[in-house]
Amino acid sequence: MIIDEQADFRSLLMHHVTTHWPDAIISAYDPTAAGHLPDDFSGAGNDLVLLGSRHGDRDGVDVLQRFLKRKNFPPVVYFGTEEDEDAAHRLRPDAHFIRDHINHDSLIVGLTDVLVSRERVASTSSLFVGDMRTGIHPLIKGYRFMRKLGSTEHSGVYLAERESTHLQVVLKVLRQMPGQDYSIGAFDRFLQEYETIAAMDHPNIVRIYDLGVGDNHAHIAMEYLAGGDLRLRMEKGIPERAVIQYIRQIASALSAVHAKGVLHRDLKPGNIMLRKDGSIALIDFGLAKSAKLENEITDKGEIFGTPYYMSPEQGHGSSVDERSDIYSLGVIFYEMLTGKKPFRADTAMGIIYLHGNAPRPLLPPRFAHYQALLNMMLAKSPDDRLQSAAEIEEWL
């Protein structure tokens, strides 16, 4: 079921779904023309509810919250805006997309992941085999599926148990294979991520156990980090002492990454995980690249990363080096201390503009002793920044 007031948007989602699942039965609902759905609406008979953010006089996040509170409601996939992204994320829908930036592959991967995680395997999908009720992972032999953790553009991320050792691991599974024109870049990045992490041996970088390639997938098995990500930790507030411990550990990990000639390029709280013992581990090297590669997988001028944490040069598609990761860590440092992002705007380009032009943010007086360090991490020009992650540890 697709719910949104905008007819063009409903048609767009319908096109994406029926392109992949031609036999799908879809009902479309306009909450402004037909009226808001009643409080006793159960969603019964639907495998998925695709919920847009436009509902006339009613806020989309409010509608999402109403649906998520209902018992036995079908999985809800929310299509929101950049403005309501944080609020929607806190409600934890089954999947979440920005309505103005929908990519067909990432949408289908996301919807399939939701179906699998709720034990609803679409009969028209040939990508999944096995019986989810037995707990056997649908793609990877030798692992017992436990639950979905998330998804990226071409990958699903799952918590699983290795049957031979009963070790809990995270499986990152790529559903497209090389040889298909649309997936060559994704497969190259996937292998690059494996090679990047496998080359690291550092306590603050996620451990990797296995790489496997099958007929229609590839997978990486890596360490399960049970403490959650730094983003969730930040929502609860982090004591100053813990902030400094985290920054030291992240800087140490970056030093090791940079020593291998690799840039992370997507450093953000969601890619920084905690173990049960409270130690930090960097994850998600899917955008990482070797600073010395002669033939880069991505073209110069293409922008990757998350605008809130992008360096000015990365946001404008310019060449980047280790100092770009240092800038991103400076943004995280400020956010951990204050609970706020240093730059906010209504659009991604607005945020990128502020990174390049707005004055560096000032810390509250109680954290003033970190201002000099923060200024050198958040300098607009890379030449004015600290030149290595090791210098961050020295300053602290």
DSSP line for 66-118:
HHHTSTTPPPEEEEE-STTHHHHHHH--SEEEETTS--HHHHHHHHHHHHHHT
User: Helix axis angle, 322-338 relative to 240-259, nearest 10°?
Assistant: 170
**Alpha carbons 84 and 236: distance in angstroms, whole number:** 20
Q: In whole angstroms, how large is the CA radius of gyration of the chain?
A: 22
**Tokens read off for 139:** 């793609």
Backbone angles phi, psi at 43, to 5 degrees: 75, 10
**Phi, psi (5° rounding) for residue 272?**
-120, 115
Residues 175 and 138: their CA atoms lie apart, in Å, by 11
**H-state helical runs in 157-218:** 184-198
CA distance 157 to 130: 18
For 161, list phi and psi in degrees, rounded to 5: -120, 130
**Residue 299 catalytic?**
no
Of the listed 4, 229, 266, 284, which one is catalytic?
Answer: 266
Q: State the catalytic residues.
A: 266
